Structure 1
């Protein structure tokens, strides 16, 4: 399959798409006009596809200098009445957070989708944050697809919801949803508007204290109305396998593991699958819990849904046991799989479930850590620095190597061993500033070109101004 097929395949056709590719098709079927991003795994393929097809699709697409700028570009387009789509990996939302929080207050005219691709187990990330928490912080509606078809369909649903309530919508995917493939049934591609028109309204779009006090009240009113839609939305589904001893509440990729275990063991349980999970559909969840005896919450990373469930139980004085992360039934860390979910269900129902056959070998397999590519110029940089250090007769303990996010961080491995501190994009220079004032050691900061433009310019100015 070619990237162009995602654009040109006709209504009624079917494609075998990654979750990320399905997001592209969903945006195209929604009449998106502008798309922006700063690339980051596990969201990268969305940008790869848009880069190849945007011109033919009549969509403006850009790789922005960082996630904050990408969000601002899309926010401006949506405020001018266009449908816009901005996407990033989960930690990118941290970079965009200042503008992210404000654009939820100001609202939009055209639909705006913000996709956060979370990374349980941190396959390519520096932390395992769960951006469902960010939805509560900002007050933004949340959609959680569980497969490529849902990614596409929820994109369209999200744009409509966004325009109905004049508010951006966050879609949370995970590494598994982004990179799984599935058959996707296609609808028609809709051409987006070429240009919008921004209607001046400072009381809405200028976040002065006198204005945002009113916007805060309006946001709460929007969320109350949207909560009613979530309670009755067909994207939230109850799957009844018979029996009422156990009800499982789940969302996103975790739903797939739940269904694998349920179907494989023919368990008589009820499942509530939440795809529209914030504002939290309290009435739907309450009705579901009233029809089961015990509740198990299966979700990846933080106990977000579990805490909502416990809040409802306390509010309505319900005497039922809730199992999940907080009582140790399931792990609070790392990506789930069917075996982990099966072990959790086993604890609840006290019944031995089918164990999948595991394969093992007595062969000792060599470790294959990531390494710099053959011919990579970073090797020459490290070699030159090592040679200079040797010539200057400096001791390694006298030098702090502040490195950064990028492949050059692999310099921490032998034989170079030139990586002592790294916490975020662009941090190498800021960290160097701090160490230069806090110690008498020599500081060497490494930063790549993209990272420099992303977040390295302000700390470099700081270094010069403060004579680091």
Structure 2
């Protein structure tokens, strides 16, 4: 006689997971987007401080824009949770005022009337916002963070120019300010690197740049909270210069500020030697060649391996080292020295400009002892183009370069025959591209009428969805940066017979900075509507 089997005996057990766990859970696995990770970061930092006996508060300010267009909405949704953790959110009128606001939080710790031990802060803005806020962010980094505060500068970079007027790579700008930069490759990295960034900022007095490119911050993934490293103790053997490195008064204009910036970078290097977010992916002890990756480019390499039906273990066993950089500036060189030991050649895979590649070359150039391997990446040893800095890096762009490189050094792992099939144009059909629906204003949208100009007149486009008027036969041309609308006509009008133009200007842009453009047009007595 057969025993009766319960109907649910083979049914999977469902956990009691809730969507709100992405911000509130402290252990286990959660699912969250990159945007939500930025919100979770401040909550995590507050809890870490509370566990350490610190009475800190958090502060966030910045200005939305793709790929950080949803940050403010996620912060508003989490308002009650933020208040519970003593985190304040100030939506800024524009990026530079947001940068000035976060600067103020690092002065709290020296205030005798303060209500908290310190304030950890976050500024966010897309690439053009980093440019606009440059003066405020540069001053903030120079003045410094506070010992129990810390500062993250989250740069939403649109490497592929998908939703911006031009591509941006903000890390190069931040490096020019002597600002250290962390470069996460996925959502889990965002959490770990964010906590690391605040610890680094508190130790060094520097503000820390945080790369948040479209592919990372607009993605979603499962994260194992128990696997994250959130403990970054301050090194005990570092001696700061006289006066310290943190925010203080007076910080009057002088070359002392420049000297302190250099000292902060020294402190960053010291911290990174003791606490590294760089990771050994394939540490092969008998390697003679190696690969260095950073940020999203690491995932591009991993996908290239998958398409070539290779694993990290295959490369490790064949004598290929792989090293993933987390702190992209300044590069931690003691581990780099270990990495290049016995290597004849290093392939650097990174997106856009050669931030990592240049630092490796600079470090190795005058090296007297040990190996000095050939370093290639954006160009080959003979100077020929290799992994271009133009456009976005994709697995399909990494694939042929990596396959050729691997076949040259490790013939047993030659998979070049698979590259042709994987990147051939026959894979995807583009027949449908011949039929396109041109974007148009929604039914009832006020732009349907507001962008029409009188017959014989012309208009200049501006930032906003009203830019679509440019392809609607409405005599609308041109484009200028946000807040500059119409100012270009103030000069142009002096050298043309055209007597007048209309200028499109959105209400959001008016609030952000457009009122200044109007004031400039009035001051120039420009004939413009």
TM-score with structure 2 length normalisation? 0.78
Q: Is contact 2:184–2:190 with CA below 8 Å preserved after alignment?
A: yes
Q: Deviations over 1:134-180 (max 9, x none)?
A: 22211111111111111011111111211122221110121111112
What SS is found at the alignment partner of 1:277? strand
Aligned counterpart for 1:326 among listed residues 350, 359, 379: 379
Aligned residue number for residue 363 of structure 2: 312
Matched, 1:250 2:301: no
Aligned counterpart for 2:447 among listed residues 378, 385, 410: 378
Q: Distance in 2 between matches of 1:4 and 1:429?
A: 45
Q: Is contact 1:4–1:53 with CA below 8 Å preserved after alignment?
A: no
Aligned residue number for residue 209 of structure 1: 253
Aligned counterpart for 2:161 among listed residues 118, 122, 129: 122
More displaced 10-residue stretch of structure 1: 110-119 or 233-242: 233-242
Matched, 1:106 2:143: yes
Q: Is contact 1:21–1:45 with CA below 8 Å preserved after alignment?
A: no
Cα 1:439–1:92 shift into 2, 3 Å: same
- How large is the RMSD of aligned CA atoms in angstroms? 2.5
Aligned residue number for residue 304 of structure 2: 261
Deviation (angstroms), 1:259: 1.9
What SS is found at the alignment partner of 1:167? coil
Deviation (angstroms), 1:244: 1.9
Deviation (angstroms), 1:241: 6.4
Q: Deviations over 1:56-115 (max 9, x none)?
A: 421221221111011111111232131111111111100100011111110121111110
Deviation (angstroms), 1:274: 0.7
More displaced 10-residue stretch of structure 1: 321-330 or 84-93: 321-330
Q: Distance in 2 between matches of 1:299 and 1:203?
A: 34
Matched, 1:171 2:215: no
More displaced 10-residue stretch of structure 1: 426-435 or 137-146: 426-435
Deviation (angstroms), 1:369: 4.1
Matched, 1:452 2:510: yes
Structure exhibiting the larger radius of gyration computed from Cα positions: 2
What SS is found at the alignment partner of 1:226? helix
Deviation (angstroms), 1:252: 0.6
For 1:10-409, what aligned pairs fall within 5 Å after superposition?
A: 10-31=25-46, 33-58=58-83, 59-80=87-108, 81-109=118-146, 110-186=149-225, 204-205=248-249, 208-210=252-254, 213-240=255-282, 242=284, 244-263=287-306, 264-266=309-311, 267-268=314-315, 269-316=320-367, 319-327=372-380, 328-350=385-407, 351-353=414-416, 354-355=418-419, 356=422, 359-361=427-429, 363-365=431-433, 366-383=435-452, 385=453, 389-390=454-455, 394=456, 399=458, 401-409=459-467
More displaced 10-residue stretch of structure 1: 428-437 or 270-279: 428-437
Aligned residue number for residue 523 of structure 2: 465
Q: Which has the higher contact order (CA 8 A, sep 6+)?
A: 1
Q: Is contact 1:90–1:119 with CA below 8 Å preserved after alignment?
A: yes
Q: What runs of 5+ residues in structure 1 fail to find an aligned partner?
A: 189-201
Aligned residue number for residue 197 of structure 1: none
Q: Distance in 2 between matches of 1:160 and 1:98?
A: 24
Q: Distance in 1 between matches of 2:200 and 2:33?
A: 24
Q: Is contact 2:451–2:466 with CA below 8 Å preserved after alignment?
A: no
Q: How many aligned positions are there?
A: 442
Q: Is contact 1:238–1:271 with CA below 8 Å preserved after alignment?
A: yes
Deviation (angstroms), 1:319: 4.8
Deviation (angstroms), 1:284: 2.1
Q: Distance in 2 between matches of 1:126 and 1:15?
A: 35
Deviation (angstroms), 1:206: 6.1
Q: Distance in 1 between matches of 2:95 and 2:30?
A: 30
Deviation (angstroms), 1:221: 1.3
Q: Distance in 1 between matches of 2:488 and 2:209?
A: 32
Aligned residue number for residue 196 of structure 1: none
Q: Distance in 2 between matches of 1:249 and 1:329?
A: 15
